[in-house]
């Protein structure tokens, strides 16, 4: 199983990626988590990425690609992946299609988690007030992350729908129900094991 997760900040990409990875026995790849690991490790990529992460802007495409290619091709060799957070703009979507063609990796579905803006803000502010808080979980940066999603990432909904890959799921339901809906919808498609 090879899946992409496409959804605004706070919609549950990370939560569902972990659950789907466990369900299908595949790798969970989060580009945000990979970047935060680079930042924590003080690598050159991490030092470059930190200012984008902290203000909620997208990290430049050229910094993302190598990291994604390495993680995805390795996970593909092990049997599949759920990729959370890539692509996030049309240039990245084209790069992902190219990567898929070059390495013979077919994508089985692109899951869109639909959650309203008020609920997204509530979730991120709640996380920001707790032990799991991230440097981008503050009101200003949350607002900007949501704007970036609408302007940069939202166009990918039509992009993947046109390629008959989009699976839209109500992400405001309880976590377990969201997973169940995704699994049911995927079962209805002709996907590889």
Report the catalytic residues: 13, 88, 127, 134, 145
Q: CB under 8 Å, gap of 24 or more: what pairs does 58-66 form? A: 58/88, 58/89, 58/148, 58/152, 59/35, 61/89, 61/91, 61/92, 61/95, 64/31, 64/92, 65/95
The answer to whether residue 64 forms part of the interface with ligand AP5 (CB under 6 A) is yes
The answer to whether residue 169 forms part of the interface with ligand AP5 (CB under 6 A) is no
By CB atoms closer than 10 A (0-12, 13-18, 19+), residue 13 is: buried
The answer to whether residue 6 forms part of the interface with ligand AP5 (CB under 6 A) is no
> Among 1, 4, 13, 72, which residue interacts with ligand AP5 (rule: CB under 6 A)?
13
The answer to whether residue 2 forms part of the interface with ligand AP5 (CB under 6 A) is no
Q: Quick one: tokens of 12?
A: 């549950």
**CA–CA gap between residue 105 and residue 68 (Å, rounded):** 13
Q: Quick one: tokens of 11?
A: 């919609």
Site string for ligand AP5, 66-105 (x = CB under 6 A): -------------------xx-x---x-------------
> Among 4, 35, 107, 182, which residue interacts with ligand AP5 (rule: CB under 6 A)?
35
Q: Which residues are near ligand AP5 by CB under 6 A?
A: 7, 9-15, 31-32, 35, 52-53, 56-59, 64, 85-86, 88, 92, 123, 127, 136, 145, 174-175, 178
């Amino acid at each position: 199983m090879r899946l992409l997760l496409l959804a605004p900040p706070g919609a549950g990409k990370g939560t569902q990626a972990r659950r789907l990875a466990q369900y299908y026995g595949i790798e969970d790849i989060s580009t945000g988590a990979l970047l935060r690991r680079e930042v924590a490790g003080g690598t050159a990529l991490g030092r470059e990425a930190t200012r984008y992460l902290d203000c909620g802007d997208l990290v430049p495409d050229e910094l993302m690609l190598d990291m994604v290619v390495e993680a995805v091709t390795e996970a593909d060799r092990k049997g599949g992946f759920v990729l959370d957070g890539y692509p996030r703009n049309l240039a990245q979507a084209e790069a992902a299609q190219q990567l898929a063609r070059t390495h013979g990796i077919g994508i089985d579905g692109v899951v869109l988690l639909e959650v309203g803006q008020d609920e997204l803000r509530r979730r991120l502010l709640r996380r920001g007030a707790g032990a799991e808080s991230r440097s981008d979980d503050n009101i200003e940066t949350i607002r900007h992350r949501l704007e970036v999603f609408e302007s940069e990432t939202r166009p990918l909904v039509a992009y993947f729908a046109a390629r008959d890959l989009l699976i839209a799921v109500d992400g405001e339901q309880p976590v377990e129900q969201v997973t169940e809906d995704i699994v049911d919808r995927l079962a209805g498609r002709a996907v590889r094991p």
